[in-house]
A and B are shown apart, each in its own frame.
Chain A
Amino acid sequence: MGKSNKLQYLNKGVVSNEVEVLKKMFEYAPVYVCLLEGPDHRLKYMNKIFRQLYGGVDLPEGTPAEKILSEFKGAGEKEINERMQLLDSIYNSGEAFIANEFQSFFGYRGENESEEAFFNLICQPMKDEKEETYGLFITGYEVTEHVRARQEKAYSKERLTLAIEGADIGFWETDLKRGELDYTNEQCKVHFGYSPGDEFTRDDFYNAIHPEDRPAVKEKAQDAMENAGNFKVEYRVQHSDGSLRWILARGQTLTDSDGQPYRFIGITLDITESKEAEKKLKEAVRIRDDFLAIASHELQTPITSVRTLSELLELKLKKDGEQEYAGQAAKINKGINQLSKFIANLLDFSRIQEGKLQLEKSDLILNDLIKDTVESIQPISDHDVIIEAVDNISVHVDEFRIGQVITNLVNNAIKYSPESEKIIVRAKEKEDQVIVSVVDFGIGVSEHERETIFQRFYKGNQPHKKTYPGFGIGLFISSQIVQQHGGDIWVEDNNGKGSEFKFSLPKND
Chain B
Amino acid sequence: MKYLTKIALAIILSLSVTLVSYAESNDITPFASDLTAAYSVSINPNGSSMTAHARINGYSTCDKIGYSSLRIQEERNGSWVTVASSYNQYAYGVRSFQDTLTYSNITSGAQYRAICTFYIQIASNSDSFTITKTA
Are A and B genuine complex partners?
no
